[in-house]
Amino acid sequence: MVNVCRNEKANALNASYYHVVNPITKTAVGAEVSHRFSTKENTLTLGTQHAIDSLTTAKLRFNNFGLASGLIQHEWRPKSFFTISGEVDTKAIEKSARIGIALALKP
């Protein structure tokens, strides 16, 4: 699947690609290229996802500025998710990594 759109009040142009590698394990890869017209800055982001089991998914992404992030998401009830995520700047390793926990509940 390929997607191209202009957003942020027409300041950015994004193009993305998503490819399912294995539908049984929900393994997929994706890429996004973004260009900001105001700063003339380009960003390339690569990512992947994989279903650990039928209720748990892991996702990872990395961009050209050295930001690496990942999450593990578990569906513990129908449409209710528990997520643990983290992000680290690999070019400034002295900075603290960010870690988050989220709970999304749907009735």
pLDDT at 100: 97
Backbone angles phi, psi at 29, to 5 degrees: -125, 155
Q: Are 64 and 49 in contact (CB under 8 A)?
A: no
The phi-psi region of residue 21 (left if phi > 0; otherwise alpha if psi is between -120 and 50; otherwise beta) is: alpha
Mean pLDDT across the stretch 7-28?
Answer: 89
Grade residue 107 by pLDDT with cuts at 50, 70 and 90. confident
Residue 18 CA to chain centroid, in angstroms?
12
Domain residue spans of the chain: 2-104
Strand stretches in the chain, DSSP E: 2-7, 12-22, 27-36, 41-53, 56-63, 67-77, 80-89, 98-104
Q: Cα separation of 96 and 76, whole Å?
A: 30
What pLDDT is attached to residue 11? 84
pLDDT in tens, 85-98: 999 999 988 888 99
Q: What is the pLDDT of residues 27-79, one digit of tens each?
A: 999 999 999 888 999 999 999 999 999 999 999 999 999 999 999 999 999 99
